[in-house]
Structures are given as structure tokens and as C-alpha cells.
Amino acid sequence: MIPSLDLIPGVLAGRQRDVARLITRAEAGDDECRPAMTALYQHTGKAHIIGITGVPGSGKSTLVKALATAARQMGRRIGIVAIDPSSPFSGGAIMGDRIRMNDLSGDPGVFIRSMATRGSLGGLCRAALDAVDVLDAAGYDLIIIETVGVGQDEVEVVRASHTTLVVSAPGLGDDIQAIKAGILEIADIHVVSKCDKPDAQRTIGDLKTMLMLDMPRDPNWMPPVVGTSAESGKGIDELLKTIQTHHNYLHQSGRIQDRLRMIAESRILKTAEELVRRRFVRHQAGHFIAQVAQRQLSPYQAAQQLLGE
């Protein structure tokens, strides 16, 4: 097997085979790839990272495909990390986005990777941002993270992206209720897909009304509502322009630094949690589990001992 460090020149040159190999090792959590990911991190920070979330059935994957197609026509290189539910048997991604986005798979300027949640909450899996780092270093300047689509638990995507899109669709009775329950405030841009449907304008109007009644997380940016139809292409160019407008706003206002610090904090915490979990599973799980189960230790005491406190 080629050492992970030896894959770095190929990744920096944008060779898709090396990109795929390094993402695979990062997703598997191989200790051998940690030095490579550390070295690669110095070459990241150039891409615009877009998070796309929304309830199931809202058309996220179809929208991602349409956005990627339009962005490629503008000469952009697109990386897509699509988070899918895990198979209960293999642990792998159930829904293959390479199949759903088949028209893009032969384009050398597009890299698509499906990743399983593997039990991760919040709509993002552990290795999603490692994959983003690899794609960023490989020269993909627009990177889209599409989350699994489970409702209000998806707020983690805002701690991973510079621009967050929340997708709604007309005719989904619980869609607006789900947004009210927790997703509304994370959106930098609201997208109403399938806007050629008769009740689309009502959904757009409902969202605009809700936004007027709610305090945006950035008081200087009122999230716009953009209607799109991936089938006809309606609104896709407008959405790309709106995404670029938000990108420009972040940099011109200096708010990009707030986003970068938030992403860094989240990544440090998630990495620390993963290291503790692996340490627990590999070395001391049985010992601590038995003691806690027999009431010889409390869960808090076991955690303290695990951390050496």
C-alpha cells in the first residue's frame, strides 16, 4: 500500500485517484493517514464551502446536481461530499450519490464522494471535513456538503460551512414545521425547490413572513429566499449569484473570520471526542463498562479516569 504521505503530491496536483485514496483512509480513521492530513492542512483554506440541508424529499440532491452543472459552465471545480444514512449491515452509505449524479461523474472537474453517517448525529459524519480538506487542497474551489436530511438535528452543518442553504419544497406538509422547530435560524440562504409547482409561491411567502418575525443570526445579513426548479433550470443562476454575494459579504465585512473560528472550534471538539472514543473502545471499554454496570463507578468517574483527570 502506498503510504498516505506519498499521496500528497498527487492530491496537490488534483489527481482524482490519490484524492479518493486519501479520503478513504481518512474516513476509515487510519492512524497512518494522520501525518498526511496534518501536512495537507497547510494547503487548505482557499475553497468556498457550502452546506446544504433540509428535510427528506425537499430535493437537495437534485439541487446539488443542478448547482454543480451550472458552476462547471462557469469554469469552477466542484467537490461534493454527500452524507448518506449508514447501512445497518455494512456501515456504508445506503444511497449512492454517484448513481443519483451520474451525469457529473465523468467530468474531471467534479469529484463526488458519498459518506456514511456511521451513527453520527447532526447530519455530518466524523470524516466529512477531512474529505473537505482533501478536496480543498486538490484545488476544488467550490465544495458542497449535502447532509443526510433528518430535520432539526442538522444544525451541525452550520459549523462546517461558510454558506448554509436550507432547502424546502412546496407540498411537504411538515416541512415548514420542521424549519420552525430549529433549522430556520441556521440558513444564510433559503431555497424553495420545485418552484414550478402551483403552491410554491405560498411556501416562499411563508418563509419570508417567518424571516421577518425572526432575528437572523447575522443582523447585517437577511437570508434571501430563492425559488428554484432543478428540472427546468429556473432560479439556479440566481442562486449561484446569491451564494457568491454571500461569499463577498463575508469577506468584505470581515465576518468570514467568525465563521472560520466557529469551524475550527467545532473541528477541535469533534476530533477530541473521536480520540477519546477510540481510546475507550480500543483499550479500556470492557473494564469501565463492567464497573459502571455493577455500580462500582459512576459514568462521570469512569470518564474522569479515562481522561486521566
Sequence ranges of the domains in the chain? 1-43, 45-253, 263-307
Instruction: Determine the Cα–Cα distance for residues 121 and 214; give it in Å rounded to an integer.
Output: 26
Instruction: Determine the Cα–Cα distance for residues 78 and 139; give it in Å rounded to an integer.
Output: 9
CA 163 to chain centre: 11
Query: Who wins on pLDDT, 188 or 123?
Result: 188
Q: pTM of the predicted model, to two decimals?
A: 0.87
* pLDDT score of 58: 80
Which residues lie below 8 Å from residue 270, measured CB to CB, with a gap of 6+?
A: 126, 129
Instruction: Determine the Cα–Cα distance for residues 194 and 188; give it in Å rounded to an integer.
Output: 20
Q: Cα–Cα distances in Å, from 72 out to 48, 104, 110, 150?
A: 15, 10, 8, 29
CA 244 to chain centre: 18
* pLDDT score of 88: 39
Q: Which three cell numbers stand for residue 207?
A: 418563509
- Assign a CATH topology to domain 45-253: Rossmann fold (3.40.50)
Q: What is the pLDDT of residues 235-287, one digit of tens each?
A: 999 999 999 999 999 999 999 999 999 999 988 988 888 888 877 777 667 77
Q: What is the pLDDT of residues 156-169, one digit of tens each?
A: 888 899 999 999 88
What does the DSSP assignment read for 9-78?
HHHHTT-HHHHHHHHHHHHHT-GGGHHHHHHHHTT---SEEEEEE--TTS-HHHHHHHHHHHHHHTT--E
Cα-based torsion angle of the residue sequence 21, 139, 265, 92 in order, rounded to the nearest 10 degrees: -30
